[in-house]
Chain A
Amino acid sequence: MTLQLYVWGPAFGLPSIDAECIAAIAYFAQTTSKADYQLIQSSPSAVPTHHLPALHDPSTRTWISGYTSILRHLQSQPPPSFHDATFPSATPSIQADSKAYTTFLSTNATPLIALYLYVSSANWAASTRPAYSKILPMPLPWTEPAQLRQTMSARAEHLGMSSLDTDVETEKEEQEAAAASRAGWISIPASLTRGPNSVGEFMAPEDKRRIRLEGLARDVLDVIAEVEWVKLTVGARCAVLGWVSLMIVDEGVPRRWLAEVTRQRYQGLVEFVEDFGRGTFGAGPRGWESLPWVEEGTEAHSFGLKLHRRLGHGVMYEVPWIGEVWRRWWAGRRRRELLEYKGIKQAPSWDSLVFTGLGMATLTMGAAIWYWRTLPRVGALVQRWEQPVLTMGGLGAAGAFLSSVFDEL
């Protein structure tokens, strides 16, 4: 049965916009015949693992996401045409080195790419967001790229370079200025304050922090550049192809510090990556187009979500306060579905009960609010007109006597 590899779509002249996805595609292209797998351009909201690349193996009913996990699955349950010359024949030492360098790439190179293409406002606005708009079907560019940027920024947070995100910086400055004018006695109109008067104030944040950014890049690239990738396993070579080919992306990128550092200082590495890319995907600039791409939704065993549901969840995530709870609930639900699909019995779900309870609580609240609004205001003059009922009982003992007399009559 054909395996299905869900990946991010192509961008920057590369088969995918994500490093792990490029590596996974390259590994499939290197080891498996085109008849045995399908490439499906998708996004994390469609797959139950919430992360790409994701591999769906219909024969074992499993979903695996992440590059190294996919490699492990392929090596343990290989499709018929699978052939990795370096597995398992490579010596344990080479296997260990390959594992170490692959982990190093995913741990340390991803934050760099996050800084370069996601955190930097200029690059995000000019190249990355348009690229996502191209590869996502229509309503999804409204919700998904912003989420993705949050995720990637979190991965680069420890490098302390959030100032590349000038949107946040400008917002902060505006807030500070507003707070100062509110607190101060005198406000000076903007036209009278001085403009930027030092070189630093004219410079882009990337240029101001160029030395530090280059330092960060060199810390990572010094390690990668010294490796003899040819001697390592195919898995490690595909990994370096994935990560480094995104690092040297420079078409349409306005602040190309990472590409410049890599191309200038690590030519050997860049040459190796470009050669290996040509060898893997074919000679042309877009050789990867000949791989077995399949339209989403037309694949043999569709497991992806429909577009409107993906949009709905994306919108729910953006709701403050509720979004977080919703995301967690939805991820948990998808994990259950996944395990049930694989045939693992799950404890009965409380979802319907919770939702019924929530619905009833909302209804009760609504009814209570409606009732509250219909009540007269406290202290308001309340007038009730009632038809007086004429009975003999109102006349005291005489009335009682009279009424008994009337009754007897």
Chain B
Amino acid sequence: MLPAAFWTHLPNLCHFDRWGRTRWSISSTKHSQILISNPASSVTSDIATVTMTSATAAPVLKPSSRPTPAPSSPSLWAIPPPLQKLFNHFPLVTLDPNPLPARSQVLTSASDTHPTLYVFSSDVDALEGKPSINPTCLKWQTLLRLNHLPFLTLPSSNHASPTGALPFLLPPRNLSSNPIPSASIPAYISRFTSTKPPIPTPREEAYLSLLNPLRLAFLYTLYLTPEHSPLLQKFYISPSTSSPLLGTVLQSQLSAAASAAVLQSLGLHPQTGTGGIDGEELYAEAAEALESLATLLKESPTGWFFGRERPEEFDAGLYGYVGIIMEYMDNTPGGRLGQLVRNAGEGVLVVWWEQIKKEAWGGGVGERGEMMRSEEEKYDYIIQCVRN
């Protein structure tokens, strides 16, 4: 707090003119008189005034009250009026500050209000809020949509994630700057929907492990069957690099990582390579797993797993795989997984898939992704992406 005398005896205000000479003003009434005539120099005084005003928190000097040029006597140091006039014309043009890149503008304009989910996707698909092409990302994306929480999606890679794996959720900037790893998304959802985060029952956990054989068959199909290398190219390689050489290296790395993951789950040495993998057995195992899941689904009266009223994390987890399988690996050469899903439980899983698709992605893909920006903006952004 300032002493009372501060308010009664106004402090001396110190100004510098453009040549660095100090000028003192005692009060606001004198203020206008001692300022030098040059309106351009009022910039400095304005700054000083504003600083003082904010420091004293008193409306001593209003920054809006622009000082009028005082009638000044010509001095040795004063600038001749014609020159002054000339100088006043400058700068001739002040350009607007450069806008941020289109990509970051989308990010900054929206992330004030909405969280952003970073997923594997292409630029355009992410902008439209389309389903991701990665099972784990699709799972969390679907779960957030099922809970009607608005969010943006941005394409990213594992290197960007604090946990080393996508997806992760970046909350709106005004809330927090800490990213939320995928494991904490249920807690995030329960905070915003004011429901309790569900604790899986032992039986649910057992059935959850049935996603593993499905995952192995999925990895085998996408990464290790030559028929699907165009799909792999489209999903992971084209968004990362346009160089064919780097693409080949990346593809071989991805395939090696996938075969290591499959081998590890089968109990073989991770470096055994594809020679250790029996694709037929993987598909047979996945078929049994899907059949068991379909049997479980048939028991449920509501049409969702474990008799829940609404689709929950388990449904979203299975949809992560089934959604991609039915979208890209059904009725294609080598797309046996789609057929397995269709056969499971005499089509129960297909019915379930259509339902959950309608529930989460119904009403057009990306309705929520589009709602915070206009069509032109989106068009500009897409053009920008294509040019780059």
Q: Mark A residues whose CB is within 8 Å of B.
A: 20, 44, 49-51, 64-66, 68-69, 72, 92-93, 95-97, 99-101, 103-104, 107-108, 110, 147, 150-151, 154-155, 222-223, 226-227, 323-324, 327-336
Residue pairs across A and B with Cβ atoms less than 8 A apart, 20 shown, are: A50-B269, A68-B285, A68-B288, A69-B281, A97-B203, A100-B209, A101-B206, A103-B209, A104-B206, A104-B209, A107-B265, A151-B268, A155-B264, A227-B202, A227-B206, A328-B272, A331-B274, A331-B276, A335-B275, A336-B275
Report yes or no: B267 in contact with A155, Cβ–Cβ below 8 A.
Answer: yes
CA distance A110 to B285 in the complex (A): 18
Interface size on B, residues (CB 8 A): 35
Known: A64-B281, A334-B275. Is A108-B299 also a contact (CB below 8 A)?
Answer: no
Within residues 240 to 285 of chain B, which ones have a CB less than 8 A from any CB in chain A?
A: 264-276, 278, 281, 284-285
Q: Is the CB of A50 within 8 A of B206?
A: no
Chain B residue numbers with a CB within 8 Å of A93 are 295, 299
Question: Could you tell me if B210 and A103 are in contact, using CB atoms closer than 8 angstroms?
Answer: yes
Closest to B213 in A: A103
Question: CB-CB < 8 A to A51: which residues of B?
Answer: 266-268, 276
Cα–Cα distance between A51 and B276 once the two chains are bound (Å): 9
Q: CB-CB < 8 A to A20: which residues of B? A: 267
Q: Taking CB as reference atom, which chain A residue is nearest B260?
A: A154
Cross-chain contact of B281 among A66, A101, A324 (Cβ < 8 A) = A66
- Contact present for B278 and A49 (CB under 8 Å): yes
Do A324 and B271 touch across chains, with their CB atoms under 8 A apart?
Answer: yes
B284 touches A69 (CB 8 A): yes
Do the beta carbons of A151 and B269 come within 8 Å of each other?
Answer: yes
Residues of B within 8 A of A222 (CB): 202
Decide if A327 touches B210 in the complex (CB within 8 Å): no
Going nearest first, the 4 A-B pairs with the smallest beta carbon separation are: A331-B275, A328-B273, A332-B275, A96-B292
- Please state if A327 and B278 are interface contacts (CB–CB under 8 Å): no
Residue of B nearest to A18 (CB): B267
> CA separation between A150 and B267, bound complex, in Å?
11
Report which residue of A69, A97, A103, A330 has the largest number of chain B beta carbons within 10 angstroms of its beta carbon.
A103
A298–B293 CA distance with the chains assembled, in angstroms: 44
Distance in Å: Cβ of B257 to nearest Cβ of chain A: 13
Chain B residues lying within 8 Å of A155, measured Cβ to Cβ, are 264-265, 267
Hey, which chain B residues are within 8 Å of A323, CB to CB? 271
> Among the listed B212, B272, B281, B292, which residue makes an inter-chain contact with A327, where contact means beta carbons less than 8 Å apart?
B272
Any A CB within 8 A of the CB of B315: no
Residues of the A chain whose Cβ atoms lie less than 8 Å from the Cβ of B269: 50, 147, 150-151, 327
Within the assembled complex, what's the spacing in Å between the Cα atoms of A328 and B271? 7
- Distance of A64 Cα from B285 Cα, bound (Å): 13
Which chain B positions have C-beta within 8 A of A92? Answer: 295, 298
Roughly how many angstroms separate A290 CA and B298 CA in the complex, as a whole number? 44
Per the bound structure, the CA–CA distance linking A332 and B268 in Å amounts to 14
Query: A50 and B276: CB pair below 8 A?
Result: yes
Given contacts A50-B269, A93-B299, A103-B213, contact A223 B276 (CB under 8 A): no
Q: Which residues of A contact B264 (CB under 8 A)?
A: 151, 154-155
- CB-contact partner of B289 in A49, A50, A99, A108, under 8 A: A99
Residues of chain B contacted by A154 (CB below 8 angstroms): 264, 270
Counting CB contacts under 8 A, is B313 at the interface?
Answer: no
> Is B60 engaged at the interface, CB distance under 8 Å to the other chain?
no
A151-B268, A223-B205 known; A95-B292 Cβ under 8 A? yes
Docked complex Cα distance between A66 and B276 (Å): 12
In this complex, what residue of A is CB-closest to B205? A223
Does B291 make an interface contact (CB < 8 A)? yes
Question: A96-B291, A100-B206 are known contacts. Are A328 and B275 too (CB-CB below 8 A)?
Answer: yes
Q: With A64-B281, A72-B288, A93-B295 given, is the CB distance from A107 to B270 under 8 Å?
A: no
CB-defined contacts of B185 to chain A, threshold 8 Å: none
Answer whether A107 and B209 are a contact pair too, CB < 8 Å, given A64-B281, A333-B275: yes
Whether A100 lies near B207 (C-beta < 8 A) is: yes
Q: How far is the CA of A271 from the CA of B304 in the complex (A)?
A: 36
Q: Which of B287-331 contact A (CB under 8 A)?
A: 288-289, 291-293, 295-296, 298-299
Supposing A103-B210, A223-B206 touch, asked if A66 and B266 sit within 8 A by C-beta, the answer is yes
A114 to chain B, nearest CB (A): 10
When chains A and B are docked, how far (Å) is the Cα of A97 from the Cα of B204? 10
Q: Given that A92-B295, A95-B292, A103-B209 are known contacts, is A332 also in contact with B273, CB under 8 Å in the complex?
A: yes
Q: Which residue of A lies closest to B200 (CB)?
A: A223
0/1 string, B354-375, CB within 8 A of A gives 1: 0000000000000000000000
Q: Could you tell me the distance in whole angstroms from the C-beta of B306 to the nearest C-beta in chain A?
A: 12
Please name all residues of chain B whose beta carbon is closer than 8 Å to the beta carbon of A332 when the two chains form the complex. 273-275
Query: What residue in chain B is nearest A71 (Cβ atoms)?
Result: B288
- The CA of A240 and the CA of B379, in the complex, are separated in Å by 58
Q: Which residues of A contact B284 (CB under 8 A)?
A: 69, 72
- Chain A residues whose CB sits within 8 angstroms of the CB of B272 once the complex forms: 50, 327-328, 331
> How many Å from the CB of B164 to the closest CB on chain A?
12
Complex interface: chain B residues within 8 A of A101 (CB)? 206
* In contact, A100 and B210 (Cβ under 8 angstroms): yes
Measured CB to CB, the nearest residue on chain A to B298 is: A92
**Given A327-B269, A327-B272: 9 more A-B contacts, CB < 8 Å:** A51-B276, A68-B285, A69-B278, A69-B281, A104-B209, A227-B206, A327-B271, A328-B275, A334-B275
Distance between B300 CB and nearest chain A CB, rounded to angstroms: 12
CA distance A44 to B267 in the complex (A): 11
CB distance from A105 to the nearest CB of B (A): 9
Contact partner of B202 among A69, A223, A329, CB < 8 A? Answer: A223
Q: Which residues of chain A are near B292, meaning CB under 8 Å? A: 95-97, 99-100
**A96–B295 contact, CB under 8 A?**
yes
- Whole-angstrom distance between the Cβ of A112 and the nearest chain B Cβ: 14
Q: Which chain B residue lies CB-closest to A52?
A: B267
- Chain B: minimal CB distance from A103 (Å): 5
Residues of chain B within 8 A (CB-CB) of A107 are 209, 212, 265
- Residues 331-363 of chain B, each 1 if its beta carbon lies under 8 Å from chain A, else 0: 000000000000000000000000000000000
